[in-house]
Amino acid sequence: MDTILSLQDVSKTYQSGTKRLTVLHNINFTVEAGSIVAIVGPSGSGKTTLLGLCAGLDRASTGTIELNKLRLDDKNEDERAFIRNRYIGFIFQNFQLMPTLTALENVMVPLELQGEKNIRSRSVTLLEKVGLSDRLHHYPAQLSGGEQQRVSIARAFSTNPKILFADEPTGNLDDETSGKIVPLLFALNREAGTTLIIVTHNPELAESTQRIIRLKGGHIISDERTSNTTLAV
């Protein structure tokens, strides 16, 4: 299996006045293409910081990060933005939908940025897959939290990303809604063959993945395979 993501001796330190705060210490792991990985740990353990580094949203203080065979640590912001636009999808806890655009328009935006063709029909098809065929022209404020996350999921898959980062995708949803969103996310991921990395506090969601990386105090304290070995196949 090809490696889609590789971290070697990655650390992240922030300078605050005269103080230095290291939030990640010598992180090492690789992720196989097409796999589904959960990153878990208590608040302040460095999960979201790690996700940001993996996605090229921030730069590591030390170490090497490669995504799809491209080194992120020696790229400038414009180059990293190009890599994110070309290869990466995002799902956020607070949905991050544009309030002045309809559900359909929100899904179309990434495709427009890439200059793709047939973007309207592709976006409609994705929204149908997530069960929102009757909500195409609704604005985010007219949608429930679960419906907004469905739009977010459709948008994330619209560009056929190589890797998708989900930061607490069920964090703002009740248990019943989460129970519908997670199978939907996994089904779309399986269909697209995308690599999926999920930061979550939800133990049931983590246990549904193929591998769980646990952080504590900025260190990886365990990295274990689950029994869901055929999940992404």
Domain map (residue ranges) of the chain = 3-15+28-225
Which residues, listed in sequence order, are joined to residue 170 by a DSSP beta bridge?
none
pTM: predicted TM-score of the whole model, two decimal places: 0.90
Q: Can you give the pLDDT of all 233 residues of the chain as single tens digits?
A: 799 999 999 999 998 888 999 999 999 999 999 999 999 999 989 999 999 999 999 999 999 999 999 999 889 999 999 999 899 999 988 899 999 999 999 999 999 888 888 899 999 999 999 999 999 999 999 999 999 999 999 999 999 999 999 999 988 888 898 888 889 999 998 999 999 999 998 888 999 999 999 999 999 999 999 988 655 44
Alpha-carbon dihedral 137, 144, 191, 41, rounded to 10 degrees:
140
Nearest to 140 by CA among 101, 195, 173: 101
Strands 3-16 and 19-32, by their bridges, are antiparallel
Q: Residue 32 in contact with residue 209, Cβ under 8 Å?
A: no
Rounded distance, CA 41 to CA 219, Å? 10
Q: 3-15+28-225 domain in CATH 3.40.50.300?
A: yes
